[in-house]
């Protein structure tokens, strides 16, 4: 019966941060749903009912003020792999479980990483603008990109997403290097033709394309700064599909302006979105997309299924799939 289903708090349906209608149907199979703005209209009514907070695109934000209004809350289930937006220790201290959706975003995010790499290398966006410009009368001969096939791809972070990027790079006959806290198995390395670089500096010096695929932690915050950018080839491109805070953006702007590196292609920045007058927007050798690595229908649907699966388990007192523990 509908009235017997537990309640879940979500951000909204549609809009910039809301669930798609198809995704909402997945949630409603197991939950009664209240949207955040409706919740705020009557928190005394809804607060004691809500047992699951389903976060989509980081919303509703799991801030202490909100969590304290949810005395029956059992779980915060967040879509995506990263949990840098969550104070896991604080939430657990309230007796609330935390879960995420690792793995499911890896293929779509790897696709976007290669898309950014290719678009930057072959100057696809510039070519598109030239082709559709009403003033174009002839194809400019100076619209020259750089080779991808046969180039050296350096991947920083060889988890699921990094490995999927390596697979795609291998398909383009790239020489694949990777740097990771732990070396992958010999079988994994052979499958994608990857060579382990224990030293990040070595990878930066050797790579034509450096792709960042790490999680945001205290160790990876500011991982790429002025020093690291200066180690890269002047013909190299930096691709970031991890988190904006992994790169010192001021140092990146300077490196792009000075020719320290050739170009950057970014799906993530800090903050998101960037201020409209941010200097990255003024640089012709920068390509930016608005954190859309996981934005495909099948990926989104599977993320919501995993969120719901974890939330249902937590409410029933069962082991929570993909439970996140404090570091």
Catalytic positions, written as ranges: 243, 272, 291
Question: In what side-by-side order are the strands of the sheet with 50-55?
Answer: 32-35, 7-10, 50-55, 75-78, 97-99
Kindly state the helix (H) or strand (E) to which residue 211 belongs, with its residue range.
strand 209-212
Going by C-alpha positions, the residue among 161, 285, 267, 150 that lies closest to residue 214 is: 161
| CA-based radius of gyration for the chain | 22
> Hey, is 147 helix, strand or coil?
coil
Expressed in angstroms, the distance from the first to the final Cα of the chain is: 40
- Written as six digits, the tokens of 1 are 């019966």
Give start and end residues of each alpha helix (H) in the chain: 21-28, 36-41, 43-46, 64-67, 88-93, 106-121, 124-132, 160-171, 186-192, 200-206, 226-231, 249-258, 297-315
């Amino acid at each position: 019966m509908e009235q017997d289903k537990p309640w879940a708090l979500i951000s909204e349906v549609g809009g910039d941060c809301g669930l798609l209608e198809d995704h909402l149907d997945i949630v409603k199979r197991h939950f009664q749903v209240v949207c955040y703005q409706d919740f705020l209209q009557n928190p005394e009514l809804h607060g004691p009912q809500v047992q699951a907070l389903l976060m989509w695109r980081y919303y509703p934000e799991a801030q202490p003020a909100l969590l304290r209004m949810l005395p029956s809350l059992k779980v915060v289930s967040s879509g995506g792999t990263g949990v840098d937006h969550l104070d896991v220790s604080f939430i657990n201290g309230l007796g609330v479980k935390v879960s995420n959706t690792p793995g499911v975003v890896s293929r779509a995010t790897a696709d976007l990483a290669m898309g950014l790499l290719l678009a930057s290398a072959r100057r696809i966006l510039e070519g598109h603008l030239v082709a559709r410009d009403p003033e174009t009368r002839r194809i400019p001969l100076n619209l020259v990109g750089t080779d991808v096939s046969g180039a050296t791809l350096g991947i920083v972070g060889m988890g699921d997403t990094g490995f999927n990027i390596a697979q795609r790079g291998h398909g383009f006959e790239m020489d694949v290097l990777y740097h990771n806290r732990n070396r992958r198995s010999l079988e994994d390395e052979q499958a994608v033709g990857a060579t382990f670089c224990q030293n990040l500096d070595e990878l930066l010096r050797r790579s034509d394309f450096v792709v960042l695929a790490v999680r945001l932690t205290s160790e990876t915050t500011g991982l790429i700064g002025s020093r690291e950018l200066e180690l890269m080839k002047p013909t190299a491109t930096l691709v970031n599909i991890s988190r904006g805070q992994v790169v010192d953006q001021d140092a990146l702007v300077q490196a792009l302006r000075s020719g320290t590196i050739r170009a950057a292609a970014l799906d993530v920045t800090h903050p998101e979105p960037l201020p409209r007058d941010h200097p990255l927007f003024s640089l012709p050798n920068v390509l930016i997309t608005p954190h859309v690595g996981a934005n495909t229908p099948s990926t989104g649907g599977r993320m919501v299924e995993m969120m719901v699966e974890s939330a249902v388990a937590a409410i029933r007192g069962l082991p929570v799939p993909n439970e996140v523990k404090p570091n």
